[in-house]
Chains A and B, each alone.
Chain A
Amino acid sequence: MKKYDVIVIGSGHNGLTSAAFLAKAGLDVLVVEKNEYIGGATVSRNLHEDWKYSNCSYVCSLFRPEIYRHLNLAKHGLQVVTYNGGFTLTDSGDYLGSYRDHEVMRREIKRHSPIDVDAYDRYYTDMAKWCRFIRPMLLRTPPDPTSFKFRDLDELRWLARKFYDLGPRDLHDFMRFFTVSVGDFMDQYFESDLIKAHKAGSAVVGTNLGPYSPGTAYVLLHHYMGDVDGAVGAWGFARGGMGAVSGALAGAVREFGGEIRTNAGVDQIMVKNGKVTGVRLQSGEEIFADRVVSNVDAKKTFLDMMDPKDAGEKVIKAAKRYKSRGSSGKLNIALSGVPTFTALPKGSELIKGDFHIVDNMEAYERAYDEWKEGMWSTSPYLDILIPTLTDPTMAPPGKHFMSVFVQYCPAKVKGQDWNDDLLKQFGDSVINNIAKYSPDIKDLIEHVEVRSGAVIDREIGLTEGNIFQGELSLNQLMFNRPFPGYAQYRGPVNGMYMSGSSNHPGGGVMGAPGANSAREILIDMNISTTVPEDEGDD
């Protein structure tokens, strides 16, 4: 009977990344996917006529360039196109634009708050500094602070050295940056509430915290440390939608001889005398392998796919305590044309970027308060993009795809499960919010897909729809991710590994957890590694 070297559960981008590097090392790899399509949360779904929806993740920046190069993803059709522009609309009918050109950006900020112009430069330099500091940690396995293994001690030494080299001043700034709320952080720089809100947005995206909750400044960094073609902090679209990312990775897997099976949901990870023997599919079919890599989030992996006896009490408890609360929703909209936003100057290019409609920090925090009470925000923070203005391939000629990310949206509505009626109410409230600024948008809508955390959970298995496969709170980062003792991609039984965003360095379409897990597996097998180290792109 056929026996694989490695089975990867889940064809999300991290699973495919892990599989590709393992196959590249000459291993016999099988990726099993429960859905009929691959990609997990990196997909281009054809849900309406000739439209392609990036209906989960929708922009690209964090994906590690090392992985892109070493798996030669360009050859497999992945092309990331930078987008420019973006703006925040104000209640007063004004806007704050984002411009790549530093000088133009300064002028725009000056228009709203002259004294914030210099603050903006300081902010920009500091963020770049923290990005450079954190990026080298992404493609490394966190040390176990309680271990005395040489590798752990050496890694701890490396980390300590890195922090020490910052010197007192920068170390203080970093500690502060790492622990303060994004609100307090912004207060150290800017005066204008609009500029604060504009900048703070990404700090709570996908996070069940408010802009004034300590620790959110770090999440801001988590959205900054990416790059497109070496431009740190830049964001772009994967040509053809996010499915292009998983498509290219799948191409790499196959090129190196790996197999991918869809419609193959896993029922249980099979274990015999403390060692992995393979997986049992929901169909009952058993597939055998010496190693199983779960790309599923930590909760589902340990609570749903393992026999508690195999996982062990400690791990079950830790998995139950692992926090993966859903705090966001998404609308995917097919438009028959480009909506007008009355605040914008005619023909402004800004609309090609990400735009937002919360213009002050208090409104932002109040949106969070509603989530705490189990409701979606009546005026939520929206992260809106129209990729088709940059990449026309996603919709029929002249027509457009609009992605609307909604913060906040609860996993249950006042304790009640989501149903079609609630989804409709939620979708309508979001569209009405946009319509306040765009009179013609409703007439342009051809089709809307409304996604709550519950929908995303059911469809692609992210618990409560948490986009990071688990919250990026300080207690769930580095050697605490997903939980202490299991932060090195190895599971509780022999031959079991984890590659998902539940592991360091966490979520976003980054590929780092996948790559790191492959490295650990190859180390255990004494096979020379195919996984690149950080190559210091900047």
Chain B
Amino acid sequence: MTDRMNNTYDAIIVGGGHNGLVCGAYLAKAGKKVIVLEANKHVGGGAVTSELSYGKKISSCAHFLNQLNQKVAKDMDLAAHGLKLAASDLSTIALAADGNHMHLSRNDVSGGGVSSDDAEKYKKFMSLMHEYASTLGFLIDIPPIDIFNLDWDDKVAAMKLGWKLRFGLGAEKMSEFLRLISMNIRDVLDDEFDNELLKGALSFDAVLGTHTGPYSPGNFLNFLYRIAAGNNGAVDVPVGGMGAVTSAMKNSSIASGAEIRTDAPVQKINVEKCAVTGVTLQNGEVLNAAIVISNVNLKTTVLELVSTKHFEADFVKRTTEIRMRGAAAKLHIALGDLPEFAGLEQSDLKNRLVIAPNQQEVERAFNHAKYGETSERPMMEISIPSLVDGSLAENGHVLSAIVQYAPYNLKGGWTDAAKAAFLETCINRIGEYAPDIRKHIEHAEIITPKDMEDQFGLVGGNWHHGELTLDQMLMLRPVPEASRYALPLDGMYICGAGAHPGGGIMGAAGRNAAQAILKGEAS
């Protein structure tokens, strides 16, 4: 460990979220003297486990592990540092009002009145999606190609991309891909399937964590993203909740020689002669480094931590225009006992339960968000992790659900009354499928997008530090001048979800940033 008195580092990372920890680990591994500064009492950012009620714990932001970058998991040897899976490759159960629920796995679908024809098409469709994902997935692990000053790696990547599109996929699938890429999920699914429940559940995957509805063009790409990132989109549950992922990352970075300080909120990033010199903590302490890496979203980094005077007006304008609308809330319920879901065995309940009856209803739920209202009939992704991980609840169970839609800027604001009302709406919604749930509820809370901003620094309540839409992807993410992790300010970098390839507990941004920094030094 580094001597505390010596306040000079090779690199300082602002923000101990998963990407910060990953970036720190890679840099430390490369022999850099690195410190990761976290404002909260614990690291983890959006991947944390916290107490819900006495003896009950819950993953308070992200609740499934479905996008963890496989290279990161391997390089950091997270398994050796304490990451264990309580359940892996869970299937999805799309809940039906009539109790005839639908079971979806990677390429099979059954129940929910799905026709054999649709089941066949589902196989074909998903295998095509996985083919697209595996062909283009490599883009996630490299910095966006900078077509305006191509270095050798860019040229290789560009050629690889062209080759994979044209010969990997072949002419037919390539042109189909170019057609699909900008489509809305609704048309894509309507073109393929008949079963409404099936289309509802799949469309929910596309709109999850976005400010879009099934009708919104472009969100087919979000659907593909879920499959391309992580382990082919397999949905896992870590032992000890999502906090276990980031604590494994923490252990790994420490083992590689990184220093981690919690309770160390950064007040500003220091700049002298057009280059960063380090940071000043809120307690006045100054840490020096020629490289500062912000795991905080670009807006906050530029407007608050560095100050706009060190950047050109146009860069600042683009930064302020980054769209960061979150529309998902989090529902947490402490249960005395398991509720009965009509038509489901207890053994089914460990899976990913989805409430998205059909695309039209998902779109209707979204309509409200557009006008700063909460959905009357919200859509949900439900997890009951205590079924696979006893450590989360000494007795009884905990239920965690992502709820859409809940706008960040609710008309009239997120008052306690508004929160209570929406909590009721959500519980009633689950009640439609689990009528007896109320009598098992010990405690229930709702985490609004506003809360996510306050608790996890997710500005606008957006998981991705900037919406993942066509105009905010690849070389355009978060803004072109910062798409390669280096800001137009010597020594200043970003490594967070706001950068390519975006959020989700992936860690790819942290890894790419570290490699960009090391490469920059090498050259």
Contacts and interface: CB of A to CB of B under 8 A. Distances in A.
Interface of A: 144-146, 164, 167-169, 171-172, 175-176, 178-180, 184, 188, 209, 212-215, 321, 323, 362, 365-366, 369, 372, 473-475, 479-480, 483-485
A141 to B, nearest CB: 16
Interface in B448-476: 469-471, 476
B255 interface: no
A489 B70 CA distance: 46
B414 to A, nearest CB: 20
Interface string B336-365: 000000000000000000000000100100
A178 B476 CA distance: 13
Contact of A179 (B174, B182, B318): B182
What are the 9 A-B residue pairs with the smallest beta carbon separation, nearest first? A484-B175, A474-B182, A146-B171, A179-B470, A179-B471, A176-B471, A215-B217, A172-B480, A214-B218
B125 interface: no
B179 A483 contact: yes
Contacts of B360: 372
Contacts of B183: 473-475
B180 interface: yes
Nearest to A484: B175
A483 B176 CA distance: 9
A168 B215 contact: no
Interface string B204-215: 000000001001
Interface of B: 147-148, 166, 171, 174-176, 178-183, 187, 191, 212, 215-218, 314, 318, 321, 323, 360, 363, 367, 370-371, 469-471, 476, 479-481
Nearest to A209: B217
Given A176-B471, A321-B191, A167 B179 contact: no
A484 B216 contact: no
Contacts of A362: 371
A175 B171 contact: no
A188 B321 contact: yes
Given A209-B217, A321-B191, A372-B215, A484 B178 contact: yes
Given A176-B476, A213-B215, A474-B182, A146 B175 contact: yes
Contacts of B323: 184
Nearest to B166: A146
B484 to A, nearest CB: 12
A446 B21 CA distance: 75
A365 B363 CA distance: 13
Contacts of B314: 169
Nearest to B479: A172
Looking at chain B's contact residues, is the secondary structure mostly helix, strand, loop, or mixed?
A: helix
Contact of A214 (B147, B148, B469): B469
A164 B147 contact: yes
Contacts of B176: 484
Nearest to B171: A146
Given A168-B148, A215-B182, 9 more contacts: A145-B178, A164-B147, A164-B148, A172-B476, A188-B321, A214-B471, A474-B218, A475-B182, A475-B217
Contacts of B181: 475
Contacts of A178: 471
A525 B116 CA distance: 49
B218 A215 contact: yes
5 contacts: A146-B166, A179-B469, A179-B470, A323-B187, A480-B178
B10 to A, nearest CB: 30
Looking at chain A's contact residues, is the secondary structure mostly helix, strand, loop, or mixed?
A: helix
B318 A172 contact: yes
B217 A145 contact: no
Contacts of B175: 144-146, 479-480, 484-485
B313 to A, nearest CB: 12
A480 B370 CA distance: 30
A485 B173 CA distance: 12
Contacts of A164: 147-148
Nearest to B191: A321
A160 to B, nearest CB: 9
Contacts of B179: 475, 480, 483-484
A34 B216 CA distance: 37
Given A323-B187, A365-B370, A372-B215, A473 B476 contact: no
Nearest to B190: A321
A184 B191 CA distance: 28
Contact of A474 (B217, B363, B469): B217
Given A146-B166, A146-B175, A474-B217, A212 B370 contact: yes
A365 B191 CA distance: 25
A325 B322 CA distance: 32
A146 B182 contact: no
A365 B187 CA distance: 20
A365 B370 CA distance: 9
Contacts of A479: 175, 178
B385 to A, nearest CB: 34
A473 B318 contact: no
B268 to A, nearest CB: 28
A485 B170 CA distance: 13
A483 B171 CA distance: 14
A372 to B, nearest CB: 6
Contacts of A184: 323
A261 B187 CA distance: 39
A213 B370 CA distance: 11
Interface centre among B171, B176, B479 (most CB of A within 10 A): B171
Interface centre among A144, A167, A369, A485 (most CB of B within 10 A): A369
A168 B480 contact: yes
Contact of B471 (A169, A180, A366, A475): A180
A172 B480 CA distance: 7
Nearest to B317: A188
Contacts of A485: 175
Contacts of B469: 179-180, 214
B361 to A, nearest CB: 12
Given A184-B323, A362-B371, A214 B217 contact: yes
B128 to A, nearest CB: 14
A213 B184 CA distance: 10
Contacts of A369: 367
A366 B370 CA distance: 10
B371 A145 contact: no
A321 B188 CA distance: 9
Contacts of A213: 215-217
Contacts of A188: 321
Nearest to A185: B471
